[in-house]
């Protein structure tokens, strides 16, 4: 068929049934919308699954309380209970455990409350220092100086049968500190 014949074809053809054409039009719109929703909903659900399936922090055993001398703050590391099998090194997490009294523990996330960088503990001066923007916290986790908007994030802890456990796993952020 040459171009000329093609362009003339509709003029020569018998006029189509307008009703059939309208049904065809509507059908294509409805089916198009349906197929978009059918394909789109699972795709969005897949991508947004980290929100739809919100894991809560889990209890992790950190060992006997005797491991934590009184009046001292120690860095502990543990495997993130919510990690994926292929997380590699990033499955590990760290936290600071401070034994303030015989049965009083405070556990801090290492993430600075300003922008999440890892704070370092200096037992000599009893301060946590952040290397990024210079946030400083006192030994009890309260804000000492610099840009952080609050004290260190505190992780829930409990002592049972002489062992210390903490609840951890989620990355703490300002609106979801625990």
Instruction: Find the shortest distance in angstroms from Cβ 58 to another protein.
Output: 10
User: Which member of 16, 45, 126, 156 binds another protein (CB under 8 A)?
Assistant: 126
Question: Any contact of residue 46 with another protein (CB under 8 A)?
Answer: no
Instruction: Identify the CA nearest to 160 among candidates 65, 57, 81, 56.
Output: 65
Instruction: Identify the CA nearest to 154 among candidates 138, 140, 165.
Output: 140
The residue to which tokens 């609840």 are assigned: 167
Which range, of 13-21, 65-73, 134-142, 158-166, touches another protein by CB under 8 A?
134-142
Nearer to another protein, 164 or 168 (CB): 168
Task: State the Cα–Cα distance between residues 53 and 168, nearest whole angstrom.
Answer: 17
Q: Any residues with CB less than 8 A from the CB of 90 and at least 6 apart, and which? A: 83
- Whether 91 and 79 have beta carbons less than 8 Å apart is answered as yes
H-type helices in the chain, by residue range? 3-12, 18-47, 49-52
Is residue 14 helix, strand or coil? coil
Residue 51 tokens, joined: 């929100």
Binding mask 6-45 for another protein (x = CB under 8 A): ----------------------------------------
User: Which member of 8, 35, 36, 120 binds another protein (CB under 8 A)?
Assistant: 120
Which range, of 28-36, 64-72, 98-106, 131-139, touches another protein by CB under 8 A?
131-139
State the residues that interact with another protein by CB under 8 A.
Answer: 47-48, 50-51, 54-55, 75, 77, 80, 82-84, 86-94, 110-111, 114-120, 122, 124-127, 129-134, 136, 138, 144-149, 169-171, 173-176
């Amino acid at each position: 068929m040459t171009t000329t014949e093609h362009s003339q074809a509709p003029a020569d053809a018998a006029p189509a049934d307008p009703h059939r054409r309208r049904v065809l039009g509507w059908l294509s719109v409805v089916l198009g919308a349906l197929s978009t929703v059918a394909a789109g909903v699972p795709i969005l659900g897949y991508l947004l699954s980290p929100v739809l399936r919100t894991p809560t922090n889990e209890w992790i055993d950190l060992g006997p309380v005797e491991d934590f001398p009184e009046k001292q703050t120690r860095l502990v590391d543990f495997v993130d209970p919510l990690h994926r099998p292929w997380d590699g090194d990033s499955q590990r997490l760290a936290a600071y455990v401070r034994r303030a009294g015989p049965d009083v523990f405070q556990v801090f996330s290492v993430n600075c409350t300003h922008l999440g960088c890892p704070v370092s503990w200096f037992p000599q001066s009893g301060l946590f220092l952040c290397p990024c923007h210079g946030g400083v916290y006192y030994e009890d986790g309260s804000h000492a100086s610099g840009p952080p908007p609050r004290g260190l994030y505190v992780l829930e802890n409990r002592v049972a049968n002489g062992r210390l456990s903490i609840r951890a796993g989620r990355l703490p952020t300002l609106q979801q500190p625990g």
